[in-house]
Chains A and B, each alone.
Chain A
Amino acid sequence: MINFQYLRTTTAKSAIALLVKDKNAKFLAGGTNLIDLMKRGVTAPEKLIDINHVPLKQIEQIGNKIHIGALASNSAVADSALIKEKLPLLSWALQAGASAQLRNVATVGGNMMQRTRCSYFYDTEMPCNKRQPGTGCGAMEGFNRMHAIFGASEKCIAVHPSDMCVALTALDAEVVVANAKGERKIPFKDFHRLAGDTPQLDNNLKADEMIIRLEIPMNNLAKNYHYLKVRDRASYAFALVSVAAAFELSNNKITDIRLAMGGVAHKPWRLTASENFLKGKEATLSNFEEAAQLAMKDAKGFGGNDFKLKLAPNTIIEGLNLAKSKV
């Protein structure tokens, strides 16, 4: 047997203390991805630190921000009356992810930490620079229908699979992380990394750190928003392309806008150029179309995913259309 030690703790402080003691320790929350990875032989932690009893499940408004604990379940956040009222985009994105059963156990922190679903990453008989640096990228010239069109490196063209993270990127969330010395904040858009030369690293969380909570500033984006996920079946499938779109309208002019895409890059992909273009403009189809084209400036296909070069801008346009038509 590949034995591992199972530990359980009830405070963040002790969890961090246990984490730093052992180089090959991992936190266990919902386990919906980690256990699969262990079964497939992709990862073999020597210690599993069960943090499910650490009291980090809060969903609350504090001042001008909404705080969501790292261990709040995906379904608790999606179904929260506060989130539905103030941050409905986040609720929609969560509902688009996984299945009801998975959402019930998967946590916010775990959702952020989930690994790519690239088939080559999961099959230990295949090359994968993310799983085993230096072995090559199986997807580059293989099956890459699901893969990145933005920011891919020569080492890795995998995508981050989360829906929730796309909405959080759009909503300017901040991630509060802690180590033994204290807390720091990471803007959500900087939490995940591009693959670059180190595809084995998915994000900028340090080895001695733990995700504590999210802080999301209040906004006026609860009226015109939409999370549009295009996938191969109606539920329980990863995005081919997804778009989180939300804007604030004043006299039919866009005063605030957020646009982010999923299924297109190694991290949730914020569409800053498109946002800047639309800000101050009218919410018209032709403006949406131009914004969508701007978003595609640096896109590149790898064969199997070339269709995303067309699907992505279409999905942006339709996401904006649906956000606009929301009443």
Chain B
Amino acid sequence: MEKRVLKDDNDRVDGILKVTGQAKYFAEYELPGLTYGVLVTSTITKGKITALDTKAAEKAPGVIAVISHLNKPSAAAYEQEGGPQMKIFYTDKIFYNGQPIAIVVANTFERATHAASLVKATYAKEDFNTDFEKALKDPKAKKLQGQADYKRGIENAYKTAVVKLEERYFLPIETHNPMELHGIIADWRPNNQLTVYAKTQGVKATQGTIANVFKIPMENIQVNSEFVGGGFGMALRTWPLEIATVMASKHIGKPVKVVITRMQMFTMVGNRPAAIQTIGLGANKDGKLTGITHRAYGETSTYENFTEGVVNMAKFMYQCDNVNTAYAIVPVDLGVPIWMRGPGEATGAFALESAIDEMAHALDMDPLDFRIKNDPETDQQKNKPFSSKNIKEAYKIGAEKIGWSNRKNKPGSLIEGPWQTGYGVSVGVFNANRGKASVKGILKADGSLHLQSATSDIGPGTGTGMTLIANKLMKIPVNKITFELGDSSLPPAPSQGGSATLSTVGSAVNDVCVALKSAIAELAANSNMDATANFVDVLKKNNLPQIEVTKESQGGKERDNYSMYSFSIHFVQVKVHALTGVVKVSKIVSVGDSGTIVSPKTARSQMLGGAVGGIGMALTEESIIDHRYGRYINNNFADYHVPVNADVPEIDVNFINKPDPYINPMGAKGMGEIALIGFSAAVANAVFNATGKRIRTLPITPDKILA
């Protein structure tokens, strides 16, 4: 832990550890007597297991146990009626293809893998449907309300507008595919004591979920997750495979490690759900929006509902008196989705920001001018002023840097040989959240400050950001500050999701630092020292090796008075090959408007990662299912295309870096999601500008350009 120290303020606390292999990820922990679990998965899409032949597996060398619904290892909550439908090993029902139905534990990973292949299930098959489009068309298929309908002014006002459009947009399933495979090590010991090494975006959430399933006190469970090799949302819940591993450890009385395969990453840990969206826009001849309608359908599973904020942006991003939205979810026979970076807002922004571009084109307006013309002064949805919003300044910076003046409003105008050049722009917006978190600060007479909180760092640079907040407040050099996280025994903090960690935990760091300073000031006063005396001198004079403060922090009434969002704007230049349909993103300028930038290096990295993810969403990523079988077709890194280096040009990252006066003491708003939100629309808009072809189905692959 002492190694998690920042050397200077343009560094990462864990940079050296990560690039030298010293950072220890969950799968790297070696426990005495460790055993290895491998999951057996269903090969049908819907039905029931009628028989499960585990004999050959049990007899295979090194096998310790085969656990399934046949031997139901005890999980108190699953023994009761009700609760989730997908109670692993407590149901013989198959909800989707690739569902875990048994776990084989052996003394080596290879032996467990082989034995898992020997488990043979017999099924009673039922008709199924994994095709979202088909479910949507089927009047008998369920459609559940995903969010309350919203209406401001006249419903569907766009239909009577002078200039109007109505278009449909399709986003396929995307799979998070962080480099690190998912899994867990569970070590269940006598007296219901459990230690887990997890890959999680929330150690407290993992602790709580396991406590609920096994009905043991939270204090009995120690969750460790110091380093996470990418999450992007897929580690925001404790998945059935993790419960299965804990069950297995409890059953055999030994620690069990499970690391799932890349193929299982497509079926066991969620995905960005497919979405079908319709946008209706109306405007007058002057280019003022007179109606916005956003209707969306999202995919969900049959055994659990998943909803996200697909239609949020339409309600406030543009000045318009007539707005209505609707969002429904449609169950299909697939695994339940989960938030993926930017989540629903990124899905929604693809449609809305494409449509805005289409409307600008219909009006023969520059899409940037059109956005500026319809930029709202206040949040019409909440009827509140924005706490801070510098989007016009961001437009200006981005336009200059990308060379927007080179863009021609008429599509297909910039041609050089077979390559057509185009420029596109899009806005991203996400709630500037702030939750409740506790941080403990230990200020020591050796001049160091040690901070602790049960938060996570899935890569955004949480430890670095917290260290810099403390550095600024305490004037303690960065190499004397440590920030400990990823441990459920530390003061509680929420899961790392929704771009809220810096705002939430950072505020508690702020409060701890303020409290430590006042404690030192009080000590100084009591010992007749100057109020500005150095804390080391004060502690020494008082014979104190250290002082400790724990603070819980959360937002107050400011949220009642202001609408709080982070904004981003993405400019891209693309080159499209007229003959082969290949699209190259040739230039990117992203501008973040998320209040104070606490940690410039890690904030920039967030924006870089968002742009790369955005290229994937726009051009390459799609999880393909053969609906005849309900099985994924491209469930590996050769066929599921995340962008490679050669797909990514230089990314010019800029920040407004002006404090938000209301959000929190740092004036900093989250920015993990806005780095991605809107990016795919900017690419689609640039492709249109280059070619005159409007692609409304992602990803924009060469076949769609040639169609």
Q: Footprint of B on A, CB under 8 Å?
A: 1-2, 41, 117, 119, 123, 125-126, 138, 141-143, 145, 228, 230, 232-238, 240, 307, 310-311, 314-315, 317-318, 321
Report the bound CA distance from A232 to B698 in whole Å.
13
Identity of the chain A residue whose Cβ is nearest the Cβ of B634 in the assembled complex: A119
> From residue 500 to 527 of chain B, which have CB atoms closer than 8 A to chain A?
none
Q: Does B129 contact A (CB under 8 A)?
A: no
> With contacts A125-B43, A126-B626, A307-B706 known, is A232 near B61, CB below 8 A?
no
> From residue 638 to 659 of chain B, which have CB atoms closer than 8 A to chain A?
638-639, 641, 643-647
Contact B61 A1 (CB under 8 A): yes
> With contacts A125-B43, A233-B641, A235-B646 known, is A240 near B624, CB below 8 A?
no
> With contacts A1-B111, A311-B706, A318-B418 known, is A142 near B626, CB below 8 A?
yes
Report the bound CA distance from A234 to B612 in whole Å.
13
Contact B706 A232 (CB under 8 A): no
Report the bound CA distance from A114 to B111 in whole Å.
28
**Which residues from chain B contact A123 at a C-beta distance below 8 Å?**
631
Contact A234 B647 (CB under 8 A): yes
Contact B629 A235 (CB under 8 A): no
Interface centre among B584, B626, B645 (most CB of A within 10 A): B626
Contact A240 B703 (CB under 8 A): yes
Report the bound CA distance from A138 to B625 in whole Å.
13
Contact A311 B580 (CB under 8 A): yes
Contact A234 B646 (CB under 8 A): yes
Identity of the chain B residue whose Cβ is nearest the Cβ of A238 in the assembled complex: B638
**How close is B303's CB to chain A, nearest CB, in angstroms?**
22
Identity of the chain A residue whose Cβ is nearest the Cβ of B108 in the assembled complex: A1
**Which residues from chain A contact B626 at a C-beta distance below 8 Å?**
126, 138, 142-143
**Which residues from chain A contact B643 at a C-beta distance below 8 Å?**
233
Contact B701 A232 (CB under 8 A): yes
> With contacts A126-B626, A233-B641 known, is A145 near B703, CB below 8 A?
yes
**Which residues from chain B contact A126 at a C-beta distance below 8 Å?**
626, 629, 631
Report the bound CA distance from A42 to B629 in whole Å.
19
> From residue 570 to 607 of chain B, which have CB atoms closer than 8 A to chain A?
577, 579-582, 584
**Which residues from chain A contact B107 at a C-beta distance below 8 Å?**
none
Considering the complex of A and B, which 9 residue pairs feature the smallest CB-CB distances, nearest first? A234-B646, A307-B703, A314-B579, A235-B646, A119-B633, A230-B580, A318-B579, A143-B633, A235-B644
Q: Does B619 contact A (CB under 8 A)?
A: yes
Q: Does B702 contact A (CB under 8 A)?
A: yes
**Which residues from chain B contact A235 at a C-beta distance below 8 Å?**
644-647
**Which residues from chain B contact A314 at a C-beta distance below 8 Å?**
579-580, 706
Given contacts A233-B619, A317-B579, 15 further A-B contacts (CB under 8 A): A1-B111, A141-B628, A142-B628, A142-B633, A143-B624, A145-B703, A233-B643, A233-B644, A234-B584, A235-B644, A236-B638, A236-B644, A238-B638, A314-B579, A314-B706
Report the bound CA distance from A314 to B631 in whole Å.
33
Identity of the chain B residue whose Cβ is nearest the Cβ of A141 in the assembled complex: B628
Report the bound CA distance from A181 to B580 in whole Å.
48
Report the bound CA distance from A142 to B584 in whole Å.
29
Q: Does B390 contact A (CB under 8 A)?
A: no
CB-contact partner of B706 in A234, A310, A321, under 8 A: A310
Could you list 20 examples of A-B contacts with CB < 8 Å?
A1-B60, A1-B110, A41-B117, A119-B639, A125-B43, A143-B626, A145-B703, A230-B581, A232-B641, A232-B701, A234-B584, A235-B646, A240-B703, A311-B706, A314-B580, A314-B706, A315-B579, A317-B579, A318-B418, A321-B418
Q: Does B143 contact A (CB under 8 A)?
A: no
Q: Does B162 contact A (CB under 8 A)?
A: no
Contact A307 B620 (CB under 8 A): no
A-B pairs with beta carbons under 8 A, tally = 80
Report the bound CA distance from A143 to B114 in whole Å.
29
Contact A311 B644 (CB under 8 A): no
Contact B628 A311 (CB under 8 A): no
Q: Does B1 contact A (CB under 8 A)?
A: no
> From residue 406 to 453 of chain B, which have CB atoms closer than 8 A to chain A?
418
Q: Does B148 contact A (CB under 8 A)?
A: no
**Which residues from chain B contact A141 at a C-beta distance below 8 Å?**
628
Report the bound CA distance from A123 to B633 in whole Å.
8
Interface footprint category on B:
35 or more
Per-residue 0/1 for B261-290: is the Cβ within 8 Å of any A Cβ (1 yes, 0 no)?
A: 000000000000000000000000000000
Report the bound CA distance from A300 to B401 in whole Å.
47
Contact B638 A117 (CB under 8 A): yes
Contact A2 B703 (CB under 8 A): no
Q: Does B707 contact A (CB under 8 A)?
A: yes
**Which residues from chain B contact A318 at a C-beta distance below 8 Å?**
418, 577, 579-580
Identity of the chain A residue whose Cβ is nearest the Cβ of B44 in the assembled complex: A125
**Which residues from chain B contact A142 at a C-beta distance below 8 Å?**
626, 628, 633
> With contacts A2-B114, A41-B117, A240-B702 known, is A232 near B580, CB below 8 A?
no
Report the bound CA distance from A237 to B647 in whole Å.
12
Report the bound CA distance from A232 to B646 in whole Å.
12
**Which residues from chain A contact B110 at a C-beta distance below 8 Å?**
1
Report the bound CA distance from A41 to B114 in whole Å.
10
Report the bound CA distance from A125 to B633 in whole Å.
11
CB-contact partner of B641 in A125, A145, A237, under 8 A: A237
**Which residues from chain A contact B638 at a C-beta distance below 8 Å?**
117, 236-238
**How close is B639's CB to chain A, nearest CB, in angstroms?**
7
**How close is A59's CB to chain B, nearest CB, in angstroms?**
27
Identity of the chain A residue whose Cβ is nearest the Cβ of B117 in the assembled complex: A41
> With contacts A125-B629, A143-B626, A315-B580 known, is A230 near B702, CB below 8 A?
yes
**Which residues from chain A contact B577 at a C-beta distance below 8 Å?**
318
**How close is A134's CB to chain B, nearest CB, in angstroms?**
18
**Which residues from chain B contact A232 at a C-beta distance below 8 Å?**
620, 641, 701-702
CB-contact partner of A233 in B43, B620, B629, B633, under 8 A: B620
Report the bound CA distance from A314 to B634 in whole Å.
27
**Which residues from chain A contact B707 at a C-beta distance below 8 Å?**
307
**How close is A313's CB to chain B, nearest CB, in angstroms?**
9
Identity of the chain B residue whose Cβ is nearest the Cβ of A241 in the assembled complex: B580
Report the bound CA distance from A310 to B628 in whole Å.
28
Identity of the chain A residue whose Cβ is nearest the Cβ of B699 in the assembled complex: A232
> From residue 677 to 707 of chain B, which have CB atoms closer than 8 A to chain A?
701-703, 706-707
**Which residues from chain A contact B580 at a C-beta distance below 8 Å?**
228, 230, 311, 314-315, 318
Contact B701 A311 (CB under 8 A): no
Per-residue 0/1 for B162-188: is the Cβ within 8 Å of any A Cβ (1 yes, 0 no)?
A: 000000000000000000000000000
> From residue 32 to 56 of chain B, which have CB atoms closer than 8 A to chain A?
43
Report the bound CA distance from A230 to B583 in whole Å.
11
> With contacts A125-B629, A234-B584, A318-B580 known, is A311 near B702, CB below 8 A?
yes
**Which residues from chain A contact B701 at a C-beta distance below 8 Å?**
232
**How close is A103's CB to chain B, nearest CB, in angstroms?**
14
Identity of the chain B residue whose Cβ is nearest the Cβ of A230 in the assembled complex: B580
**How close is B132's CB to chain A, nearest CB, in angstroms?**
16
Report the bound CA distance from A234 to B585 in whole Å.
11
**How close is B643's CB to chain A, nearest CB, in angstroms?**
6
Report the bound CA distance from A143 to B130 in whole Å.
15
Report the bound CA distance from A237 to B582 in whole Å.
13
**Which residues from chain B contact A143 at a C-beta distance below 8 Å?**
624, 626, 633
Identity of the chain B residue whose Cβ is nearest the Cβ of A1 in the assembled complex: B114
**Which residues from chain A contact B61 at a C-beta distance below 8 Å?**
1
Contact B582 A230 (CB under 8 A): yes
Report the bound CA distance from A145 to B634 in whole Å.
12
> From residue 94 to 147 of chain B, which have CB atoms closer than 8 A to chain A?
110-111, 114, 117
**Which residues from chain B contact A240 at a C-beta distance below 8 Å?**
702-703
Report the bound CA distance from A224 to B624 in whole Å.
39
Contact B645 A311 (CB under 8 A): no
Report the bound CA distance from A141 to B628 in whole Å.
9
Report the bound CA distance from A142 to B624 in whole Å.
11
**How close is B656's CB to chain A, nearest CB, in angstroms?**
32
Report the bound CA distance from A240 to B418 in whole Å.
19
**How close is B75's CB to chain A, nearest CB, in angstroms?**
29
Contact A311 B581 (CB under 8 A): yes
**How close is B422's CB to chain A, nearest CB, in angstroms?**
18
**How close is A322's CB to chain B, nearest CB, in angstroms?**
9
**Which residues from chain B contact A237 at a C-beta distance below 8 Å?**
638, 641
